[in-house]
Amino acid sequence: MRVIRFVDSDEKPRCAALTDDGQVYPLPYQEFMELIREADRLKTTPLTLVKRMISDVEPLAQSLEQLRLLVPIVAPEIWACGVTYEKSKEARNYEATAGKLDVTTFYDKVYDAWRPEIFFKSTSARTVGPDAPLSLRSDSNWQIPEPELGLVLDQHGTIVGYTIGNDMSCRDIEGENPLYLPQAKIWKDSCSIGPAIRLAETVPDPYSLEIICRIYRDQQQVVEGSASTRQLKRRLDELVSFLIQDNQIFDGTVLLTGTSIVPPNDFTLADGDRIEIQIPGIGILRNPVRALRKTMTALS
């Protein structure tokens, strides 16, 4: 069972349940966490509550493709994990060492360390949903998507759902100096999530999910890659435990768990590209890419 958000006939946000056979049933909520809190209040599970609500209502006449989808959750904060896959470690090393992969770096160290890399990624105002444009940072010449499994958390750090996330990244800025990480990760419209949230209780094994990324340019596919969450170096509950350690977590926080899909080193996103990230069972997150106009000139 999945939950989506869409714009209804009154131009208001509305949640809906999306069943595995593709039927869309309206729910009496505007926000995903309203469902989670209501289930908690009634001392039942979100899945049980959703099934009860849709048992006596008709599905929407529109199909999923006909709806104007919104971000499935207005996440107050989005955090992200780095170097949780071996492929990510190799890519970060390439950036930091100009291709000298035999050099040991801090990325090697964090990959093997007991403490994972967790960094702040985005706010709701910087995050877009399905089909909304992502932006390319104007002072970077090497930018890529990072397809990731996203964990939807309540204020206690409980995983209540799974979604798809795109942690856009500037490889040249991060590779120049690790202290530039916030600039390599955070800018206007630099993150997308969606198209749906899969209720956590309906995912028997989150370590068996396939992630697929495709990039299109001029209607032609130019990049395709796939990975599995079984390749994760760390457990999901381990990543969550470090995020919530002595930290205030808000209802609806999303934690992105890292990527194992990296385009070729000579590839960079360009204005007009289209990114598709698919996790079967959750959906396909599609976003066009637009270049931001340069607004400043760096001082020499």
Phi, psi of 52 (to 5 degrees): -65, -40
Supply the Cα-derived Rg of the chain in whole angstroms.
19
> Smallest Cα–Cα separation from 188: which of 228, 132, 149, 142?
132
> 148: number of CA atoms within 13 Å, CB side?
33
Give CA–CA dist 242/164, Å, rounded: 21
Q: pTM of the prediction? A: 0.94
Residue-level pLDDT at 215: 98
Q: Does domain 78-291 have CATH number 3.90.850.10?
A: yes
Give CA–CA dist 159/148, Å, rounded: 16
Residue-level pLDDT at 172: 94
Kindly state the tokens that stand for 244: 């919530």
Would you kindly state where each structural domain of the chain is located, as residue ranges? 2-66, 78-291
Kindly state the tokens that stand for 272: 């007009």
Give CA–CA dist 291/293, Å, rounded: 6
Phi, psi of 292 (to 5 degrees): -80, 145
pLDDT in tens, the chain (300 residues): 999 999 998 899 999 999 999 999 999 999 999 999 999 999 999 999 999 999 999 999 898 999 999 999 999 999 999 999 888 878 788 777 766 656 678 888 888 999 999 999 999 999 999 999 999 999 999 999 999 999 999 999 999 999 999 999 999 999 999 999 999 999 999 999 999 999 999 999 999 999 999 999 999 999 999 999 999 999 999 999 999 999 999 999 999 999 999 999 999 999 999 999 999 999 999 999 999 887 655 544
Kindly state the tokens that stand for 69: 């989808």
Where on the phi/psi map is residue 3: left (φ > 0), alpha (ψ -120 to 50), or beta? beta
Strand partners, 164: 149, 194
Q: Where are the alpha helices (DSSP H) in the chain?
A: 32-41, 46-54, 86-97, 106-112, 171-176, 181-185, 236-244
